[in-house]
Amino acid sequence: MSDAHTPAPAGEVRAVQPRTSNWNVPNVLTVLRIIAVPFFIVALVSGGTFGADDSTHRWLAWVIFILAMLTDWADGYLARSRNLITSFGKIADPIADKFLTGAAFIVLSALGELWWWVTIVILLREWGITVMRLFVIKYGVMAASKGGKIKTVLQTVALVLMLLPLGQLGLGWLVPGWVLMGAVTAITVWTGLVYVRDAYNLRRTWLQNQAAQKQRAQ
C-alpha cells in the first residue's frame, strides 16, 4: 500500500511544493499579445474602410490578429499541459484578449464597418466583467466558464471575417460577418449575466465559510 497518505512522523517536515513562477512561457505569450495590440491598430487604421486605402495594411492587421489569437490558444494549452497555471495568467490572459478584441471592435466601428451600439454593448460587458473579477478576487479567482470560451471563439471567428477586406467585393460578402456578429452580441450579454451570478455565489460562499469559521472559533 502506498505511503502517500501516511502522516509524517513527529518532528519531520515534509517538502512544500514550490509555487509556479509567473515567469513562464504562457505568461510571456500573454504579454506579447498585449504588445501586439498597438501594431494591430496602426495597421488596421492605415488600411482604411474595408482596406480601400491600403489593402496591404489591412491584410497585415488581419495576420497580426490571427497570430495574436493563436498565442491565446498556445498559452492556455501550455499552462494546462505543463501545470503552469498562475493567478497572474488567470487575470492577465482575459485582459490581453479584451485589449485585442476591444481594439478590433472600436477601430471597425470608427471605420464605419460595424455598428457602434454593438461595440458599446460588447465592451461594456467585457470590461465590466473584468473589473468585477478584480473586485471579487478576494473571495476567489473566477476562471473562464465554458460559455465564456464559446463566446471567445465566436467573437474571434466574427472578427476574423470582418477584418478581411471583403467589402471591396461587394456588400453581400459582409452579410455572414454581420449575422455572426449578431449572434456574438447575444451570447456575450448572456454569458455576462452568468458571470454576475457566479460572482454573487462566490462571494456568498466565502461569507458563509467565514461565518462558519467564526462560530467554530467561539
Over residues 74-97, the pLDDT tens digits come to 777 676 766 766 666 667 777 888
Give the torsion sign (CA, 187, 48, 164, 173). positive
Cα–Cα separations (whole angstroms), residue 175 to 146, 161, 166, 171: 28, 10, 10, 7
pLDDT value of position 13:
46
Provide CATH code, domain 25-217: 1.20.120.1760
Contact 95, 127 (CB under 8 A): no
Q: How far apart are CA 88 and CA 14, in angstroms?
A: 27
Please give the model's pTM, rounded to 2 decimal places. Answer: 0.76
Residues 6+ apart with CB under 8 A from 44: 57, 58, 61, 103, 104, 107, 108, 111, 163
pLDDT value of position 4:
44
Q: What is the pLDDT along the chain (218 residues), one digit of tens a residue?
A: 444 444 545 554 444 445 665 677 777 888 888 999 999 999 999 999 999 999 999 999 999 999 998 887 877 767 676 676 666 666 777 788 888 999 999 999 999 999 999 999 999 998 888 788 778 877 877 766 677 778 888 999 999 999 999 888 888 888 988 999 999 999 999 998 988 888 888 888 888 888 888 787 77
Report the 10 Å Cβ neighbour count for 138. Answer: 8
Contact 20, 38 (CB under 8 A): no
Q: How far apart are CA 186 and CA 197, in angstroms?
A: 17
**Residue written as grid cell 491565446:** 72
Contact 154, 184 (CB under 8 A): yes
Q: Give 5's Cβ-side CA count (13 Å radius).
A: 2
pLDDT value of position 5:
45
Give the torsion sign (CA, 64, 68, 71, 73). negative
pLDDT value of position 159:
95
